[in-house]
Structure 1
């Protein structure tokens, strides 16, 4: 029901966007796209998937690591599940499959996925803050967003860097949100295990963090290439500021895969550089960043769903 509601919200927002803008001009922008830049930008999905899969390998204990091909299949299958399940549950499913394939504990596999997603979010915030500091068209709204993103980055880094800070943060969260206390307690336990696992080898931690920062640099570079593909222009530092803000808008738990909120944010934030139909075309290309890996993951999804069903049947047999 929640997924159906999010799809309806996405369609509603897109309906307003396409009703307000010059739709024939949007089609013209797409038709006049630069084919070579389109191919280059879309093909960046390949190195991004390979790098993300390699990072997933590095997250796991050396003696329990997945093969590189298995890591790729798992990343792509999770991309499919993230498209159809609410709240990025594909990543939670990824933790389950990591546990089964790598023979690691449930808490450790969840900790690895939590750390992976935390690195992704903090890397995105880092590039956003960097871009906003050099953004030339600052106004009061952008100063507020700069302060908010910087504060989020600070809290995120402190959560990863200090176990004491993390404990206080989760304790305060459980006090303020008593209905979520059980979920926060599980996350707090996983967070503590994640701290113990990664901080014992700081060289390994530095490798994961720098890889995550580089991965998100490539993500934002891909969006900049999308702008070239639609024959538009934005300074690179401005793109580092604006594209993360649009991605963050797409993370709001209101729409299907960020469709609608991300498109509206692109139209608003890129207004100084190109018109609304061009920004809407950019929104379609940004959505393809999620659709292409999901399509590529469809052939592997059945394998993991079959494995899940086999495990469930095995557990039921043990109960009987």
Structure 2
């Protein structure tokens, strides 16, 4: 039922947006696009996915390693579920897939994925804070967002670095959360503690994963800037560092289907000083392709991971 509601919300937002957009002009934008930049920008899905898969390999504990191809299959299968589940919950399902295939225990696999997504979120916020600081035309709205994103990034770093602060945060959350969420927060607290103990035990590994996450999100934001160039539009790259993460964060709100609608509206709102709403709508479609293309690539693998059965250990191997 929730999926139907989110789909209806997405459709409602899109109907409102596209009723105010020149659809003929939208088609002409794609017809007249820079095809070389379009191929380059869409093709960046491949190296981004491969680097993300390599990072998943590096996250595995000593003695437990994934083949590079297997890591990429897990990433792609999770991408399918991210298209239909709110707030990137498909990545949490990846923890179940890893347990089912015998790669890790359930608690450690969840800890690994929680750490992976925490690094992703903090890396996205890092680039967003950097972009907002240098953004040239900040009004009250942008000063407010700069403060909010900066505080979110700092709090995230503190929670990642301090086990005691994280425990206090979870205890406070369990007190104020609805009854049906308290058990989930308790399980997440246990996983977070395991993650903290495991990853902070190896500072070199932690630095490598952090640097890789920052690089991955730089490539994501670079891809969106290439989309803008492909549409024969323009905004300075440092402006894109501020605006595109805000649109991505809007798409993470658990209101719509795969962020469709909220992300498009945010792109139209934030990029209006640089190009018109029709071009921003085209950019929204290309940003959706960033999620759609890996999901299509993951469809052949989803069935083998979704099959419920006894965990297998045959896929574990050394590279």
Q: TM-score range by the shorter chain?
A: over 0.9
Write the distance in 1 (CA, Å) between the matches of 2:86 and 2:208: 31
- How many residue pairs get aligned? The number is 310
CA RMSD of aligned residues (A): 1.2
Write the distance in 2 (CA, Å) between the matches of 1:82 and 1:233: 30
1:15 maps to 2:15? yes
Shift of 1:96: 1.1
Could you say if the C-alpha distance between residues 5 and 178 of structure 1 is closer, same or farther in structure 2, counting changes exceeding 3 Å? closer
1:280 maps to 2:248? no
Deviations for 1:126-179, whole angstroms, at most 9, x for unmatched residues?
000000000001000000000000010011000101111101111111122252
Shift of 1:5: 1.0
Contact persistence 2:85–2:257 (CA under 8 A): no
1:224 maps to 2:225? yes
Pairs within 5 Å for 1:20-59: 20-59=20-59
Write the distance in 1 (CA, Å) between the matches of 2:109 and 2:252: 23
User: TM-score w.r.t. structure 2 length?
Assistant: 0.95
Could you say if the C-alpha distance between residues 271 and 98 of structure 1 is closer, same or farther in structure 2, counting changes exceeding 3 Å? same
Deviations for 1:11-52, whole angstroms, at most 9, x for unmatched residues?
111111110122211111111111000000000000000000
Shift of 1:87: 4.2
Shift of 1:101: 2.8
Shift of 1:54: 0.5
Pairs within 5 Å for 1:202-217: 202-217=203-218
Runs (4 or more) in structure 1 with deviation over 6 Å come to none
Structure 2: tracts of 5 or more residues without a match: 312-319
- The corresponding residue for 2:95 is 95
Could you say if the C-alpha distance between residues 91 and 217 of structure 1 is closer, same or farther in structure 2, counting changes exceeding 3 Å? same
Deviations for 1:223-251, whole angstroms, at most 9, x for unmatched residues?
00000000000000000000000000000
Q: State which drifts further: 75-84 or 226-235.
A: 75-84
Structure with the greater relative contact order (CA < 8 A, sep ≥ 6): 1 or 2? 2
User: TM-score w.r.t. structure 1 length?
Assistant: 0.95
- The corresponding residue for 1:185 is 186
Deviations for 1:189-230, whole angstroms, at most 9, x for unmatched residues?
100000000000010001111100000000000000000000
**Equivalent residue of 1:84, what SS?**
coil
Write the distance in 2 (CA, Å) between the matches of 1:233 and 1:10: 27
Structure 1: tracts of 5 or more residues without a match: 313-320
Contact persistence 2:86–2:256 (CA under 8 A): no
- The corresponding residue for 2:165 is 165
Q: State which drifts further: 98-107 or 67-76.
A: 98-107
Q: Identify, as 1 or 2, the structure richer in helix.
A: 1
